[in-house]
Structure 1
Amino acid sequence: MRYSTLLVLTLGSLAAAAPRDCAQKLKEQVSPPRGWTKVKPASAEHNINLRIGLPQANFAQLEKHLYEISDPFNERYGDHLSKEEVEALIAPHDESIQLVEEWLASHGISADDLTRSPAKDWVTIKVPVSLAEKMLDTEYHVWLHDESGDTMVRTTSYSLPEHLHEHIEVVQPTTMFGRFKGMKATYHYADTERPSVDLSQPWIPIPSAYNGEVNASCNASITPTCLKELYNGVGYTPSATNANKIGITAYLGQYANFEDFHNFTAMFVPDAASSSFEVVYIDGGQNNQTLSAAGLEADLDTQYAFGLTYPTPGTFYTTGGMPPYIPDDDTPTDTNEPYANWLDYILSDPSPPQTISTSYGDNEQTVPESYAKRVCEDLAQLGARGVSLLFASGDFGVGDGDANPETQTCYTNNGLNETKFIPGFPASCPYVTSVGATWYIPEETYFISGGGFSNYFSRPDYQAVAVPEYLSKLAPGTYEGLYNPYGRGIPDVSAQGQWFWVYYAGQLGQIGGTSAATPTFSGFVSLLNDARLAKKLPPLGFLNPLIYAAGAFAPKAFNDIVGGSNPGCGTEGFNATIGWDPVTGFGTPNFYNLKDIVLGDMDLLIGGLSL
């Protein structure tokens, strides 16, 4: 709805007084974020889409269901919940709904002005800054991101009536300064990093690969064929294409170009040369087909995720909301949180893809902990419904986003200028699968691979053995104070992340990063889902309990990556070692070995049987 100053004043004077004590109490406060400069007060007429999160009444029960149906040793394995069952579990109490409605009505906002999530745990309203400041007892300003020039309208604190604190968990956009950037390592192109390729020896012996060898050209030239050879997936043809789907998410004006896709498939996946993919437009998202508008991130993700899984139907989600917001517009609207808009859509979808790959994220500390936990809980809902969610772990080792590991400062956002390792989010959410990166053949640790330990999320049960085992190998005092040894460790797995051929804006070039690794691993997950669905078995859903069981009991399910590290913050970072590590997780996939596991009712895991 649209407010004028007069209308807001009139509504405020006519609205009935709230039925409870309206004394405001501080709800959340953050220190001014590093790298952002406060420019000026926000315009009173600037529109904000406020998202109000109500407590999810029975999330603990949802989480219990999630872990039971994702545990390969549990008799409920694969017994996913329906959309309606999930929504019934996370619906807020009626009292919370009523009190929030009364509070909004006291500010002249009627039920007709609200947008609710299907479970009613989120309420969204469009209000001008002048009204948001009154409701939240705060002041919004325009903030400038010094490095990129992006601008946002945000505040560093907000308050709510004291009686609402237990009925409202979070309100955003307020204190969130995350930018949700793509994870593509465009700066790692140096020819000195390329391996020398001896083409007089046409095959590289790799015991775990298909037929025990990989074409030598793959050592500096990754294609879908190379990945299928390396990860033992040659010869598998999807057959459950009437049931199985794979999705790719895109934000910030990243458009997947069909001409680039067709050129790529014609060269590297000839069987898919005439194929295409569905585009879903969310909240004003676009997919401009002008070649100059093609997005490198979007082209990379679609060409590999859909190329590896052809003829599985692919869906490209393009979500509106891209910086920079222009603070001098007459009627500006701040749309800098596109990920929340995508979540709204996908949670409402009765039949989402069984595998969804996301190559975007940001430093965990840029997302307020309260909001990060609510987003993570939303992701858990998808896992409980049978969706496998995979996220890039990041391209800066243990560092803070500076491309040069030697100059990373890694300061915290708490105002104390402490140096700490910087994990990524949403990769740090315990209900998703985080993907790191390797390179070279035979595979080695790619030093950019984001990894470490969350400062928001505690270690989940599925990591109860693997993570302490890794930490026990560190010398006493190693990086003490730089990381949280009790936090959720990332990544969980990894895949190749450099020298990927990609068609972009009509030209053939190469790219890398965890943006390449994530759609690659996702592609193989989608093939595993296809194998299960073809046998009338449910999809895999939340992957991590299976991954950690396979990593412990069926070591040939993954290709373990040993040696190397992920430097940052003035350190060498963590080292990759035998078993799980916070650089490459359990390693890269062996498709046919994993396929035997997921089609065998997990018998191959029982009793510690190794493939």
Structure 2
Amino acid sequence: MRLLLDFVVFSFLVSSTFAAPAKECAYKIKEEIASPPGWTKRSKAPAGHLISLRIGMPQENFHQLEKQLYEVSDPAHERYGQHLSKEEVEALVAPHPISLSAVNDWLNGFDLKEEDLVRSPAKDWITVTVPVKMAEKMLDTTYHIWKHTASGDQLVRTTSYSLPSNLHAHIEVIQPTTIFGRFRPDKSMISIIEDAPATVVSDGSQISAGDSGITVDASCNTTITVSCLKQLYNAVGVVGSGASSIGITGYLGQFANIQDLQSFYADQVPAAVNSSFTFESINGGLNSQNLSQAGGEANLDTQFAFGISSPTPATFFSTAGSPPFNPDTTTPTNTNEPYTDWLDFILKQENPPHVISTSYGDDEQTVPQSFAIRVCAGFAQLGARGVTLTSSSGDHGVGDGNPNPATQECFTNDGRNLTKFIPTFPASCPFITSVGGTTHIPEVAVSRFFSGGGFSNYFARPLFQELAASKYIASLPKGTYAGLFNPNGRGIPDVSAQSDRFRVFVGGRIESIGGTSASSPTFAGFVSLLNDARIKAKKPTLGFLNPLIYSLGVSGFNDITVGHNSGCGTTGFNTSVGWDPVTGLGTPNFQKLKEIVTSF
């Protein structure tokens, strides 16, 4: 089964070699985009500005990796749970020697030596840092400084680049070139930050959680705590044994404060007081412990993911780097999306955490499809190794990143300016479990902000989701949103969890935070507990989760049938019985899921 689009077919590599050195071949456009809406071209980029080019070569046997990924992730397959080793994965994504030779010759033509290059373990990526002047020669292009009209952010980018014609078969993508994503804190899916009461007041009364038969403390309808989540999702008294592991990604100067974590534990998870997490710095990423620099996003993610799964070993990854270009600084600026730097790091690790959550993303269309496919392939490598990845589905319904639905401009950036719903990436990658948002008890799709959802324009609908998504689309009244979404695309999200009024400690203050930022680490925390149950039963970790949850796991979710996800001047999609592009399959019932995942 082939999910990713436009991968190069390699049969020609067996019988052919490139005909001439790269310098003797005419350049031909490799990738070209229209001028991105909302951005204005300013001046030429400074010739001496350093830019880190990431060169992605074709992964010759990715189709084999994908096949094996589905085999080890499908509970009906005899290979279920037989995850691949780091070395096995690297062998499957390694480029063909002819591609390596062709690209090496091309780089040598610019006097770039091996010591100038940084290669990924599988050698499918090469990173080289060069001045803009050299990058322009290498790619036969001109870089400019582009300014985002609404925010003032600036990027060094081009709208077209070329390669020698004989290299097109040996290089899939080079970035940063045509990527105009805005990977920044206001894209990190946090929607609400408010002061919260010093204490949670409970009179002991209970409210029904709905058809599950579960009752929850009434205070949980105004404030969400770890206790509320464990009550709501049928995991009261469940704690980790330390057998599993969990990780949280942090970007853009979002620091997880340990003092705040201790305050959170004292308030909500007393048994975890004096425990902490392992800190991993990537590309010089920091984790300042100055209370004034505590990050709402980082604290939300770590406090709830680690609080739910405690005492599971936990890791916080801080990745340095930010796309916006600062013309007033003389220091090198890494203008790649920082999650690719995180991928570089995590794929090198022998034992990455068993489940990892991220709460950051971009509008899918701002990430060139060729680049999105390669990043998604990196997530597939982690899944094949037994790592579960969860990601926020977004906070703007079917709309773009504009937090005000009334002013969203949902237009394609391909030069045609067509009105379209805007899915998010990396949530649209089929190898990630995308997590939408709910609120209130009984649960409904979140309404104060909007659970991101819809259908990918880049990734075809995977087989594991075909039945559920096709049934939903067939239920839509004829002509509903015709032309506004891709009816054959991968559906978003896969599942949901509470995402509003989370009680978080930030910089010594107590705040109420909402967003699918909250739902992704919450769901990851419960997946970690499921991994713990499987390990105790002498079974392997869950790894890539989606084939399981869309088959045997369906009965382990609380179906959400009230709500919608407005955006683009519409009410968006409605929830329904079964899967829907608002809340996915629903929210977890831990005990049911535990029974399912320990039964095979």
Normalising by structure 1, what TM-score? 0.92
Deviation larger for 380-389 or 401-410: 401-410
Deviation larger for 255-264 or 406-415: 406-415
CA displacement at 1:333 relative to structure 2: 2.4
Alignment correspondent of 2:486: 484
Alignment correspondent of 1:12: none
Do residues 371 (structure 1) and 371 (structure 2) align?
yes
Q: 1:186 aligns with which of 191, 213, 216?
A: 191
| 1:144-293 to 2 correspondences below 5 Å | 144-181=147-184, 182-187=187-192, 202-206=205-209, 212-239=214-241, 241=242, 243-293=243-293
Alignment correspondent of 1:511: 513
Q: Which runs of 5+ in 2 are unaligned?
A: 1-19
Q: Which runs of 5+ in 1 are unaligned?
A: 1-16, 192-196, 602-611
Query: 2: CA distance between counterparts of 1:441 and 1:388?
Result: 28
CA displacement at 1:396 relative to structure 2: 0.1
Alignment correspondent of 1:53: 56
Q: Which amino acid aligns with 1:361?
A: G
Query: 2: CA distance between counterparts of 1:433 and 1:212?
Result: 25
Is the 1:57–1:92 contact (alpha carbons within 8 Å) kept by the matching residues of 2? yes
Query: 1: CA distance between counterparts of 2:201 and 2:525?
Result: 29
Query: 1: CA distance between counterparts of 2:329 and 2:311?
Result: 46
Decide whether aligned partners of structure 1 residues 487 and 404 sit closer, same or farther in structure 2, where only a CA change above 3 A counts. Answer: same
Query: 1: CA distance between counterparts of 2:90 and 2:594?
Result: 32
| 1:410-559 to 2 correspondences below 5 Å | 410-447=410-447, 448-550=450-552, 552=554, 555=555, 557-559=556-558
CA displacement at 1:331 relative to structure 2: 4.4
CA displacement at 1:212 relative to structure 2: 2.4
Query: 2: CA distance between counterparts of 1:336 and 1:524?
Result: 32
CA displacement at 1:111 relative to structure 2: 1.6
Decide whether aligned partners of structure 1 residues 201 and 505 sit closer, same or farther in structure 2, where only a CA change above 3 A counts. Answer: closer
Encode CA deviations 1:332-378: one digit per residue, 9 max, x unaligned. 42344211110000000010000000000010000000000000011
CA displacement at 1:189 relative to structure 2: 6.2
Query: 2: CA distance between counterparts of 1:441 and 1:329?
Result: 50
Alignment correspondent of 2:296: 296
Q: 2:120 aligns with which of 112, 117, 120?
A: 117
Encode CA deviations 1:401-460: one digit per residue, 9 max, x unaligned. 111222212111111221100000000001110000000011011141000000000010
SS in structure 1 opposite 2:550? helix
Q: Any runs of at least 4 consecutive aligned residues in structure 1 with deviations exceeding 4 A, and if so which?
A: 187-191, 197-201
SS in structure 2 opposite 1:63? helix
Cα-Cα RMSD: 1.8
Normalising by structure 2, what TM-score? 0.93
Do residues 395 (structure 1) and 395 (structure 2) align?
yes
Query: 2: CA distance between counterparts of 1:566 and 1:145?
Result: 27
Alignment correspondent of 1:328: 328
CA displacement at 1:273 relative to structure 2: 1.2
Q: Which amino acid aligns with 2:471?
A: E
Query: 2: CA distance between counterparts of 1:172 and 1:542?
Result: 27
CA displacement at 1:244 relative to structure 2: 1.4
SS in structure 2 opposite 1:62? helix
Decide whether aligned partners of structure 1 residues 199 and 259 sit closer, same or farther in structure 2, where only a CA change above 3 A counts. Answer: closer
SS in structure 1 opposite 2:141? coil
Is the 2:323–2:337 contact (alpha carbons within 8 Å) kept by the matching residues of 1? no
Q: 2:78 aligns with which of 60, 75, 79?
A: 75
Is the 1:562–1:577 contact (alpha carbons within 8 Å) kept by the matching residues of 2? yes
Query: 2: CA distance between counterparts of 1:250 and 1:142?
Result: 27
Q: 1:39 aligns with which of 42, 46, 50?
A: 42
Alignment correspondent of 1:406: 406
CA displacement at 1:207 relative to structure 2: 5.4
CA displacement at 1:537 relative to structure 2: 0.7
SS in structure 2 opposite 1:80? coil
Q: Which amino acid aligns with 1:446?
A: V
Alignment correspondent of 2:3: none
CA displacement at 1:534 relative to structure 2: 1.4
SS in structure 1 opposite 2:530? helix
Do residues 575 (structure 1) and 574 (structure 2) align?
yes
Q: How many percent of aligned residue pairs carry the same amino acid?
A: 60
CA displacement at 1:179 relative to structure 2: 2.1
Is the 1:153–1:334 contact (alpha carbons within 8 Å) kept by the matching residues of 2? no
Alignment correspondent of 2:12: none
Q: Which amino acid aligns with 1:184?
A: M
Is the 1:47–1:128 contact (alpha carbons within 8 Å) kept by the matching residues of 2? yes
Alignment correspondent of 2:384: 384
Is the 1:152–1:336 contact (alpha carbons within 8 Å) kept by the matching residues of 2? no
| 1:5-20 to 2 correspondences below 5 Å | 18=21
Alignment correspondent of 2:17: none
Encode CA deviations 1:95-115: one digit per residue, 9 max, x unaligned. 000110000000111122111
Encode CA deviations 1:195-237: one digit per residue, 9 max, x unaligned. xx9976710023566x821000000100000000000011212
